[in-house]
Amino acid sequence: MTRREKLELLQGTLDMMILKTLIFGPAHGRGIAKHIQQATDDLLQVEHGSLYPALHRLERQGLIAGKWETAPGQKRELKYYRLTAAGRRQLHARESKWRALVQAIGRVMQPAAES
């Protein structure tokens, strides 16, 4: 696997986790990173250097839409991202591929008992 293929795999996985997080409703970048960290019991921590390029890429692709809003109880604005219809379709497609990949890896890691 080339370095570019590894990077695309990582980006694809991060993108899928971002899209999945936004299925629950709009969130700002820090909230998305926190959700991923909490959902994985602190196993995955998404750094800003990975998160924001992914958010910008997904926004350029039309899979998410961002809007600056004032955060509740704060004076500063945060950019809240929401899933678009195209993002929902993409998430569904990626989840299907992800499930197939997990099943395939599972068959290798836990082969059926030989007869």
Among residues 41, 7, 11, 39, the alpha carbon closest in space to that of 23 is found at: 39
Q: Tens place of pLDDT for every residue, the chain, 115 residues?
A: 565 544 455 568 999 999 999 999 999 999 999 999 999 998 888 999 999 999 999 999 999 999 999 877 888 899 999 999 999 999 999 999 889 988 998 999 998 765 4
DSSP assignment, residue 88? Answer: H
pLDDT of 6 reads 46
* Domain ranges for the chain: 3-109
**Which overall architecture, per CATH, does domain 3-109 show?**
Orthogonal Bundle (1.10)
The structure tokens listed for 83 are 């899933």
pLDDT of 4 reads 57
